[in-house]
Structures are given as structure tokens and as C-alpha cells.
Structure 1
Amino acid sequence: MKLFKGLALGAAVLALTATAQAQTRVTYKSAKTGTSYYQMAVQAAEAIKAASNGEIIVTVEESQGSVQNVMEASVRPGNYMFTTPPALVPLAQEGKAMFEGRANPRFDEIRALFPIPSLTMHFVTRVDANVAGFEDLKGKKILIGKGSFGAREGAKYLDLFGVKDDVELANVELSNAVSALKNGQIDGFVTSGSYPAPNVIEAAASVDVDIMSLSDDEIAQTKRTRIVIPAGTYTGQDADVATTSLPVVAYTTTQMDDDTAYAVTKSFWEEKAKLAKEAPWWAAVDPAMLELNTTKLHPGALRYYDEAGVAVPDSLR
């Protein structure tokens, strides 16, 4: 009897070991906890696990931002996955801007997998402020926040369109934007995030708001990517809103083997429709967004796109 028990126990241990060995583990460096991009990382990780029948386990790690994500690509071994705007990768490879003096040959090993929702600029104002364009911001009190991409872009646009000196900037944290708008402390706020942005949803549900639409000429002057927030995205939004965006892409390095990169990419796209039903910001993600990337695709990811019949620019092959 003891012999049979021993054999059964041994078989169970072997089965567990085989299961553990069959699983592929991936580390996904995303953003600060509590942000929409951290939520996206968790959603994508769960989708990849589901589509791979549990064969790929993605562990999400908090990050302080895109620069940290790229920097860690130079030291992380194995299946390291991270997100960043496409423009940062060539800067790292060339040792420029925020990567000056921090160049590393391993930055050349960075490869793209798939796009994720873009950072989308929102210029949100109270309806009674009567703001239809940048000229109408003159004399208004606007909150743009500090230190974020949205704050930098907001300040850039106010300067670019000649209203910088005529707008009063509110000294309030962006996290208090909705309450400040409701209480009449500000006329509007500027925020960036994948649409639908939680703070804009809350604002639109609390007070009548307008979301400013930019002209094609204005968008061209910003040198950012045009994006359209569809009508009905927010309460009271009856028309499409044209604005600017900063693409964001999921990357890995050549240390990830081809089969894993293929499986991760395939699993993401197979679950994308389901992701969009659960979180609307995924609806805007489309294979055509690959063209916004400037870094070559991982060979495993490229294999998936070729099999799926996705048009891939020669520069990404």
C-alpha cells in the first residue's frame, strides 16, 4: 500500500513539475498603480493568460514611467515586456535627450509587439464658459496640472496658439479637477489619457461640459498624431471630437524567444474584441496603428501579423 501511495505522490509531483515547466512567465512593466495604463496592463495580462489557456503567465509590475521602462530593457533578462511611446526607443538607442549619457548597446535589442491605447488630449470646459476654440480660453481659469505629459502638452498648446498670457492657470492638483469644475473654481481642465478617460467621464456626469475639437491645421501645428473621440463617448457629447494623441506600444527585447513573442501577440489580438467590451478604451486599438511605431517588430510578432494578413511596413520588418 505504501508503495502505491509513494508512486501516486511521485506521479502528482511529476505532473505539477511538468505543468510549471509548460508555463511561460513574462514580466510586464507598465505604469503607476491606480492609473489607466496600469489597469490596461492587468487587463492585457489576464487576456493573454486566457487566450493561451494558462500557458503564458504575465506578471504586471508598477513603473514610475516610460523612461524607466526603457532603461530596464538594458538590464532585464528573459521575457521582459514594457510600454512606452515609440519616440523614446530611438532616443535611447542614440543616447539623446533623457537618455544622454545612459546609452547601452542592449537598447538596440528592443522590438515591438503590438499597439495599446494612445494618450489622448482632452480640453474639457464647462458649457457655460462658452469655449469653442483656443481664442475662447482668453480670460478663463484653466487647470493643466504639473509634471505629466498632459500638463506639458497643455502648456505647449496655450503657447503655440497665442493664448498663454491670457489664460489663468489654476494652482490645483489635477486629481481635484472634477470637484474644482463642479464648484466653479475653474472653467476647465486639460488632461491626457486613453479615451474614455475616467476623470472626463466623471466630469461629464457631474456638470454640463464641452470637449474642444481641434482643426486639422491646429493638429498639424502640434506635430502630434490626429485621433477622433467618437460622438457619445461622454455624456452630452453629440459630435465627434478631433484632437491629438501620443501613440503607445508594447515592446520586448530579442531575449524573448520567437515562439513566446508569437504567442503573446496572437493572444492579445484574439482577445482584443473581448477587451473592448469590458473596457472601451481598447476599441480604438487597430493593427493599422503599427504604422505609428518606428522600431522593428519582434520576429515572433511579425510571424503572427504575416499569418493574419496584416499589412506591415517594410521599415518594421
Structure 2
Amino acid sequence: MKMRHILMGVAMAALATTAAAEERVTYKSAKSSSSYYQMGVQIAEAMKAGTDGDIIVTVEESQGSVQNVMEVRARGADYVFTTPPALVRLAQEGKAMFEGKGDPAFDEIRALFPIPSLTMHFVMSEDSGVTDFAGMEGKTLLLGKGSFGAKEGAKYLELFGLDDKVELAEVELSNAVDAMKNGRIDGFVTAGSYPAPNVIEAAASMGVTILSLDDEQIAETGRTRIVIPAGTYTGQDADIVTTSLPVVAYTTTKMSDDVAYELTRTFWEEREKMGQSAAWWLAVDRNLMDTIEGKIHPGAVRYYEEAGFELSDAQK
């Protein structure tokens, strides 16, 4: 009986040690149907593999980046979320959608690492003969409805003097490739991490041209310049220069330095392996660190300094 009690005590101590070593993190990303939710799942798998199970990430569905930021007010040390850096700045300044909703918790938001950016794609059928924005005049274009890409696409048409010169198709973005194949539209606009699945499908199944923007056009948009490397899509022989909306994984100062360090270290060490199964991770490199506005979590800063990343004074 005495031996049994001893064995039970050893087993309970072992369980307690395991529980203490295991860190649980909630990662709030996007709608379950989106590529960003898939990225969250991939990050969760990478964290488990890269820490030998010491960090377990649970992915939560979200209705959008604004909700992710707002939940900072009620969340604890285990909360990681994704959002464009611009929204964090607006929250901290109490502007736009955060007007009248300010909270001291917003000032405690800290960055961990960048994830694939929302990248604008203007995809035109080869049959349309369109090779630049001016060539879209008189063509039929699908923007979709309600999404970042739709709003951004409409903005660019107005900026470049095309808003009343392009016919907008009343077709769901999910039907874009079929609509272009049967000639109902000449092109479509989509925003997402590259390579984007609908652009992959269009490029592989028919000839397409993905438009580039020049430096002046990029400056007019006010967005971040990004290059989609040649060969990303079938038939793409040259780099595509376009715009993007950076997206970053954040937490708050409630998270311990050690956990923030491990999350950041594991992300970068597993990134290449993630890229072998999902090419959008290959678009994440040190250059994206420049898109992080504001402060980075001290634990993440420790990793970046050890790994030789260059950080700005504002990021520290």
C-alpha cells in the first residue's frame, strides 16, 4: 500500500511538471474559410513541432481585424491576434472605427512577427489584351463586394481615372475564374497572400496577365510596395510590382518575455518548413520587419537581437 502511494505521488508530480511546462496560447485570426485561418492552423502545428509540444496553440475564428484588436481589452497573457499595423495605430489614437472606444489596453499591444501581406492582384485575361491600367478602359472587371480587395480595387480605379470607364460585373468573386473563362468578364481584382488560389487557378487554366503598378501609382495609393517574384504563377516571366497591406501577429505586455521569445523564435525557425507545404510563407522575410509600426514585445526583441535582425529605435 505504501509503495502504491509513492507511485501515485510520483505520477502526479510528473503530470504537474508536464502541465507546468506546457504553455497554451490562443491565436485569433480570421473567418474559418479564409487563407489567414489556414495560416493560423499552420502556425499552431509549427509551434507544437518546433517546441516539442511545450507551446500548444488553439486557433480561434474571428470576424475581422477590428474585432481582434477590440478583444485585447478582455483577454489575458495567452492572447495572440493578427491585424494590419495601421489598425493598432488607429486603436491607440482612438480614431476611425475606434473613435469613442479607446482603452488603456490598446497601448499595451506589442508585435511578435509579420505574416503574409494582403497583396493586390489585378488579373486580366490574355484575350483582353490588357497589359496596363490604361488598357482597362472599356473592359468588364469583377471587384467583388465588401472585401478589402473590392474596396481597394474601387479606390485604385478612381485614383487612376478609370472609375467611370470600366464596367463592373455583378458576379461573386468565387465565380471569377469561370466568368473569365466564358468571356463574361475581362478581369478580376483580388487581395490575399500570394500565391493566391484563385489566381493560381486562372493562370494555370487560361492565359492571364497580372498588372504591375509603377512607382508613381504606388505612391498615389498610399500602400506598401511589394514584389511578386517571377514564376510565382504559370506564365509569369517577370516580377509583378503591386501594393499590399501588411499583417502582423500581435500580443500584449501581459505575455511573459519567455513565451514571446519562444513564439517568435519558433516562427522564424519553422517558417521555411511551413513554406514547403504553403508557398505564401516564402513571402515572409526580414524585409517585412520594416512594416511593423510601433513597439515589438521585449521577448521578441531579445530573439531578433540574438538572430541579427535590424530593428528601429521605435520598434524597441
Work out the CA distance in 2 between the residues paired with 1:257 and 1:23.
Answer: 14
Instruction: Name the amino acid aligned to 1:62.
Output: E
Tell me by how many angstroms 1:3 deviates: 4.5
Counterpart in the other structure of 2:100:
101
Tell me by how many angstroms 1:114 deviates: 0.6
Instruction: Name the amino acid aligned to 2:37.
Output: Y
Counterpart in the other structure of 2:79:
80
After superposition, what is the alpha-carbon deviation per residue over 1:179-232, rounded to whole angstroms, capped at 9, x for unaligned?
Answer: 111121111100000100011111112211110111111111111111111111
Give SS of 1:59's match.
Answer: strand
Unaligned runs of 5+ in 1: none
Tell me by how many angstroms 1:78 deviates: 1.6
Query: Taking structure 1 as the reference length, what is the TM-score of the superposition?
Result: 0.97
Deviates more, 1:193-202 or 1:177-186: 177-186
Counterpart in the other structure of 1:176:
175
Counterpart in the other structure of 2:265:
266
Instruction: Name the amino acid aligned to 2:50.
Output: A
Work out the CA distance in 2 between the residues paired with 1:178 and 1:219.
Answer: 26
Work out the CA distance in 2 between the residues paired with 1:84 and 1:133.
Answer: 31
1:50 aligns with 2:58: no
Work out the CA distance in 1 between the residues paired with 2:307 and 2:24.
Answer: 25
Work out the CA distance in 2 between the residues paired with 1:40 and 1:3.
Answer: 51
Counterpart in the other structure of 1:140:
139
Tell me the number of residue pairs that the alignment of Structure 1 and Structure 2 aligns. 316
Counterpart in the other structure of 2:184:
185
Instruction: Name the amino acid aligned to 1:258.
Output: D
Counterpart in the other structure of 1:92:
91
Counterpart in the other structure of 1:277:
276
In the alignment, is the contact (CA less than 8 A) between 1:85 and 1:247 conserved in 2?
Answer: yes
In the alignment, is the contact (CA less than 8 A) between 1:111 and 1:254 conserved in 2?
Answer: yes
Instruction: Name the amino acid aligned to 2:57.
Output: V
Give SS of 1:82's match.
Answer: strand
Work out the CA distance in 2 between the residues paired with 1:250 and 1:214.
Answer: 28
Work out the CA distance in 2 between the residues paired with 1:42 and 1:295.
Answer: 26
Give SS of 1:112's match.
Answer: strand
Counterpart in the other structure of 1:207:
206
Q: How does 1:303-314 map to 2 (within 5 A)?
A: 303-314=302-313
Counterpart in the other structure of 2:130:
131
Counterpart in the other structure of 1:19:
18
Instruction: Name the amino acid aligned to 1:136.
Output: G
Work out the CA distance in 1 between the residues paired with 2:24 and 2:250.
Answer: 16
Work out the CA distance in 2 between the residues paired with 1:255 and 1:121.
Answer: 35
In the alignment, is the contact (CA less than 8 A) between 1:120 and 1:245 conserved in 2?
Answer: yes
Work out the CA distance in 1 between the residues paired with 2:308 and 2:114.
Answer: 17
Counterpart in the other structure of 1:35:
34
Work out the CA distance in 2 between the residues paired with 1:142 and 1:178.
Answer: 12
In the alignment, is the contact (CA less than 8 A) between 1:47 and 1:275 conserved in 2?
Answer: yes
Work out the CA distance in 2 between the residues paired with 1:241 and 1:168.
Answer: 24
Instruction: Name the amino acid aligned to 2:212.
Output: S
Work out the CA distance in 1 between the residues paired with 2:25 and 2:92.
Answer: 23
Instruction: Name the amino acid aligned to 2:197.
Output: P
After superposition, what is the alpha-carbon deviation per residue over 1:293-316, rounded to whole angstroms, capped at 9, x for unaligned?
Answer: 112010000011111111100111
Instruction: Name the amino acid aligned to 2:62.
Output: S
After superposition, what is the alpha-carbon deviation per residue over 1:148-175, rounded to whole angstroms, capped at 9, x for unaligned?
Answer: 1101110000000001101111111111
In the alignment, is the contact (CA less than 8 A) between 1:115 and 1:287 conserved in 2?
Answer: no
Work out the CA distance in 2 between the residues paired with 1:297 and 1:237.
Answer: 36
Instruction: Name the amino acid aligned to 2:280.
Output: W
After superposition, what is the alpha-carbon deviation per residue over 1:78-111, rounded to whole angstroms, capped at 9, x for unaligned?
Answer: 2100010000011001110011111111100000
Work out the CA distance in 1 between the residues paired with 2:141 and 2:4.
Answer: 73
Identity of aligned residues (%): 66
Tell me by how many angstroms 1:5 deviates: 4.2
Instruction: Name the amino acid aligned to 1:159.
Output: E
CA RMSD of aligned residues (A): 1.2
Work out the CA distance in 2 between the residues paired with 1:4 and 1:185.
Answer: 79
Instruction: Name the amino acid aligned to 2:80.
Output: M
Work out the CA distance in 1 between the residues paired with 2:15 and 2:176.
Answer: 51
Unaligned runs of 5+ in 2: none
